[in-house]
Structure 1
Amino acid sequence: MKATGIPAIAGAYLFASPSYADERGFFCRTFDADVARSVGLDPDSFVQDSVSRSVRGVLRGLHLRSGAGEAKLVRCSYGEVFDVVVDLRADSPTYRNRAFFTLSGETQQTLYVPAGCAHGFQALTETADVSYRIDRPHDPAEDVTIAFDDPELAIPWPLPATSMSERDRKAPSLAEALKHGEK
């Protein structure tokens, strides 16, 4: 397994591991504590694993946590997604930068999203399963959502959004979300 830094988002990493395929299917390591440690991540800090299943066109995000934030490892275990990270850490050298990825069950790459970054994705295949390993328990009172179609972010979503949560549909602009966060 190898970790590669993401230049557009300080502190973000893409973890890739060779996949071994034969007539039975494939085998691939999806997490390695030593590799996480090698880039300064504490593998013991992750406290919750979750999974979502989406159908083609579903858009989830952009989400982040207020307060101490939330770091996470994100991996598409089945299907394919267009994944987005936006750096919203005011003290970051990559503040307001965006980075885009295609995560898929074929590559099994894992993306590390630092706390303070917004994250979202869109399913590109008929079924897409996304796994999350999160560094602190979920507190719904800290949920922050930003409009996926905010012109300031100009995210090039590859498909029309076929479905999204009510919360995502009604999300405020980036400017409004940041203004609310400063209070």
Structure 2
Amino acid sequence: MRVTETELAGVVVFTPRPHHDYRGLFTRTFDAAIAAEHGVELGALAQDSQSRSHRGVVRGMHGRAGRGEAKLVRCAHGAVLDTIVDIRPDSPTFGRRLEFRLDDVEFAHLYIPPGMLHGFQALTETADVCYRIDRPHDPGEDIAVHHADPDLAIEWPLPVSLVSARDAAAPSWRELLVSLGRA
């Protein structure tokens, strides 16, 4: 498994090495021992979820208040552009954004530590994204920033075909900064 640490502290990409043969392929999609060698301790993951999106759909930019949540994200079918933004108040990379292509060819897993906004756009006709999070979801801790916020300036590769009503009504980056005491 190839492990790539990123410029945002704690954000790690795990890319397995699938074995291809006449039957198809086999791959170990995640290995907790390898993750632990790189500082990723997921403990008992509380929830495992999956979304299915159609080409052009954007989900995000979502985060969690309080102590946040750690996520392990992968695209099981299709491809997405996955985007994260550091919102950890004391982080030297606060406000920085990284983007990753996750797909069903490379099988990369993106580990997102607590304190990040997260979102993605489906690049293929159908994209299934699997999420493992470290604690149960509490809707009262949800935070979000509008996917088309000009201060974030995320360049989605496709025209945005659909977002949820919640995402369409999400506040701006500046409003989040005020709520975090950073404005």
Question: TM-score, structure 2 length as denominator?
Answer: 0.95
Where in structure 2 are the equivalents of 1:1-183 lying within 5 Å? 1-7=1-7, 9-182=8-181
Q: CA deviation at 1:115?
A: 0.5
The answer (yes or no) to whether the contact 1:59–1:120 under 8 Å persists in 2 is: yes
Deviates more, 1:93-102 or 1:56-65: 93-102
Aligned residues of 2:5 and 2:12 also touching (Cα < 8 A): yes
TM-score by length of 1: 0.95
User: 1:23 offset after TM fit, Å?
Assistant: 2.3
Deviation by residue 1:72-110 (Cα, 9 ceiling, x = unmatched): 000001100011010011211211110011100111000
* 8 Å CA contact 2:42, 2:134 repeated in 1: no
Task: Look up the SS of the partner of 1:168 in the other structure.
Answer: helix
Task: Please state whether the residue corresponding to 1:175 is helix, strand or coil.
Answer: helix
Q: CA deviation at 1:4?
A: 1.2
Work out the CA distance in 1 between the residues paired with 2:167 and 2:146.
7
Identity %: 52
Provide the aligned length of Structure 1 versus Structure 2.
Answer: 182
By how many angstroms is 1:2 displaced?
A: 2.8
Q: Name whichever of 105-114 and 39-48 sits farther off.
A: 39-48
Q: Give me the whole-angstrom Cα distance separating, in 2, the residues matched to 1:51 and 1:70.
A: 16
Give 1:99's aligned amino acid.
L
Post-superposition Cα deviations, 1:102-140, rounded to whole Å, max 9, x if no partner, equal 100111000011101000000000010000010111000
Structure 2 unmatched runs, 5+: none
Report if aligned partners of 2:149, 2:172 keep a CA contact under 8 Å in 1.
yes
Structure 1 outlier segments of 4+, above 3 Å: none
Q: What is the identity, as a one-letter code, of the residue corresponding to 2:6? A: I
CA contact (8 A) 2:89 2:180 kept: no
**CA distance in 2: counterparts of 1:179 and 1:171, whole angstroms:** 14
Question: Matched residues in 1 for 2:103 and 2:24: separation?
Answer: 16
